[in-house]
Amino acid sequence: MVFVRFVLTRIALFLATLAVLTVGGCGNGFEVARLDTPASTTRDGLRATVQQVQLADEIADVGLTADTAVVAELTLTNNGAGAYHLRPSSVAWRMALDPSAPGETRALAPAWAGEGAFSDESSDGGYHLKLNPVVVPPGETRSYWVVFPAYRFAGNDVPRLTTLSFPGPKGGPLELTLADPSRGLSRWQIEPVSGTWRIGLQNHSLSGRHLHGMAAATVISHASRIGRLTLDLGFVSRLLVQIDGSLTSPTSAFTGGGLQAHVSTPFWSGGTPESPRQIGIFAGGEASTLVSVERDASRAPQLYGVLGVEGGLELGFGAIQRAPTPFPLYGGRRPLPRLVTRIGYARWWVDGGVTGGLVTSAQLAW
């Protein structure tokens, strides 16, 4: 019964960890992408400007799909004599691969629109309820947003000439160039990916008098960027072989699992934008359980609680890049590394005693 309770507790802990990490790692809205060079045009007394767009969070991970959307945020200034009326159905988002091959141009159709600043504060997307035109009286300025549901298409990872077009006050078209691959500096400034999943291996070499042994573990964690700090929270599953110590097991082996948390920060960064490097420090701790591996299935295993702390040097290699899109996305801040390796000192409190030793780990993000 003790072993059954341990297994059930471990499963529940693992599921609870996944639930917490999934909630923390899932996107639930839109993120701002600011144009390096604002797009602006004037026709028949109407001045239209786009300084930023918004992209669904999932675009960072999967690119354009049927579950994503983009938002154009317009500023309309009417210097004409009459009021200007704009219906959302007349706004078009086009992505041209080659002007000489119009058959390769892709377009997004508007689905929702409204006046003012775009906001997606509700979990079910309150913008879904709006499909409103905008009226700009003479001498006034209005803000207007239009949501374009996206879809996956062949070549959607290739940069394209992206334009936003709609009719002017006298019917002639206005066209704003949002992105142009021929202009290398015309980029969209966007925050780098702020969270990622990691999977990896961890090893402990413990040499204290209370417990002398070797431990190997697999770790699944979720890492999030908070300013200069990176916080990771994860689940560890471990096998410990005791060489000498006070723990009781006829096989000298123990298995177990628990929760880990670490915080890290870099003090040196280098490499290239495509292949960055960084060196930093980390510190963290864990709460886990060890259960003895028994030869006799009828014998109740021994259970031990473990509290541990660790700290040391962290090396980061590569970077978590955004999924390829037709838009020239550029993250100005330091991205999360693709591979993280650590070496440091660990200290455990277990079975009324203390032990310590070397800890090493390597985790790969996906």
At residue 26, the pLDDT reads 44
Q: Could you tell me if 345 and 311 are in contact, meaning their C-beta atoms sit under 8 angstroms apart?
A: yes
Bigger pLDDT: 362 vs 184: 362
- For residue 255, count CB atoms less than 10 angstroms from its CB and return exposed for 0-12, middle for 13-18, buried for 19 or more: middle
288: Cβ contacts below 8 Å, ≥ 6 apart: 236, 238, 256, 257, 258, 259, 260, 305, 306, 308
Mean local confidence (pLDDT), 341-366: 96
Six-digit token pair at 79? 């210097």
- pLDDT higher than threshold 90 for residue 79: yes
- pLDDT higher than threshold 50 for residue 27: no
Q: Is the pTM of this model over 0.85?
A: no
At residue 121, the pLDDT reads 65
Can you spell out the DSSP letters for 213-274? EEEEEEEEEEEEEETTEEEEEEEEEEEEEEEEES---TTSEEEEEEEEEEEEEEEEEEE-SS
226: region left, alpha or beta (phi > 0 left; psi from -120 to 50 alpha)? beta
Structural domains in the chain, CATH included, are: 30-189 (2.60.40), 192-365 (2.40.160.20)
